């Protein structure tokens, strides 16, 4: 995964710098030294500080990068988050790319923290989904963990989730679960999506380890939890907003999956102030 992140950083730098920074190249002598400060312009939860450092080190391995906070820290507005010292050209060329990573990841962590706080004191786990920016999944799911929530599957390769289309092409839930169990390791859990009570009953009959209640209302969720009776973990998915999290947590479910943790997070506001040494 580390190689994937480094490749993504290189891609982002090439995208931004291209054949050269024509502004910096014509204004700044190569040996001019500079200092920079990354400043929070709003209250936020930090995520991606090491990624930002990797951006600058990709341009100048010996750069001095001093993070004054750690990922997961809550940072008040107008605080200096990072101090950097190196060649002025490196600071100017890396500024936007580093901030793009830091702002996006911190935005996810900041929003996630507000969701997690809604269910504080309960046993419910909030989990993300695969609704991530292509190429950014490792970073965005890391940001979710930094915000205090948990990860669902990283991809199609690390967990069985039998969804509506799988059920349709397999001739029903029982058939789908029986078929997939014949071919996977006994160590892999099987999750089944259920949109109706009949689906729930079929998932139980098939021996599903996790049952995902898809787009049910609160009363239906409560009834489904009673029907399942601890015979499987219960996950809720579909149209989950922060406003209903407390009520969802009180229904007795084990997991609440929220695509909005990643796909609807707004980047936080950070800026970088640069000066010559």
Q: What residues are labeled active site?
A: 96, 131, 163, 193, 214
User: Which pairs from 118-121 meet CB under 8 Å and 24+ separation?
Assistant: 118/242, 118/245, 118/246, 118/249, 119/245, 119/246, 119/249, 119/256
User: Cα–Cα distances in Å, from 201 out to 10, 57, 173, 212, 251?
Assistant: 50, 55, 10, 12, 19
Residue written as tokens 């078929």? 179
For residues 209 and 191, the answer to whether their CB atoms sit within 8 Å is: yes
Ramachandran angles phi, psi of 210, nearest 5° = -135, 135
DSSP-assigned beta bridge partners for residue 87: 33
Residue 17, number of CB atoms within 10 A of its CB: 17
For residues 18 and 48, the answer to whether their CB atoms sit within 8 Å is: no
Task: Quote the CA–CA distance of 57 and 63 in Å, as a whole number.
Answer: 6
Which helix (H) or strand (E) segment holds residue 113: the answer is helix 88-118
Question: 3-state class of 122 per DSSP?
Answer: coil
């Amino acid at each position: 995964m580390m190689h994937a992140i480094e490749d993504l950083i290189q891609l982002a730098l090439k995208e931004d710098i291209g054949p050269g920074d024509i502004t910096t190249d014509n204004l700044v002598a190569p040996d001019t030294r500079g200092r920079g400060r990354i400043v929070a312009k709003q209250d936020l939860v930090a995520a991606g500080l090491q990624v930002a450092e990797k951006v600058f080190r990709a341009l100048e391995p010996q750069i001095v990068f001093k993070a004054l906070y750690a990922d997961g820290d809550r940072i008040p507005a107008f605080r200096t988050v990072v101090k950097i010292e190196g060649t002025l050209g490196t600071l100017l060329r890396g500024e936007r790319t580093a901030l793009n990573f830091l702002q996006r990841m911190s935005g996810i962590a900041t929003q996630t923290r507000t969701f997690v706080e809604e269910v504080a004191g309960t046993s419910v786990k909030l989990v993300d989904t695969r609704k991530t920016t292509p190429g950014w999944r490792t970073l965005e799911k890391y940001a979710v963990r930094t915000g205090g929530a948990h990860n669902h599957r990283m991809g199609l390769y690390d967990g069985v989730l039998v969804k509506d289309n799988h059920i349709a092409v397999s001739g029903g839930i029982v058939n789908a679960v029986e078929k997939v169990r014949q071919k996977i390791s006994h160590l892999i859990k099987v999750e089944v999506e259920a949109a109706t009570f009949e689906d729930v009953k079929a998932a139980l009959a098939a021996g599903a380890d996790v049952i995902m209640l898809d787009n049910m209302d609160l009363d239906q969720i409560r009834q489904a939890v009673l029907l399942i009776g601890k015979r499987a973990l219960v996950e809720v998915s579909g149209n989950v907003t922060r406003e209903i999290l407390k009520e969802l947590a009180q229904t007795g479910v084990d997991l609440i999956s929220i695509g909005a943790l990643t796909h609807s997070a707004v980047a936080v506001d950070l800026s970088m102030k640069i000066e010559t040494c």
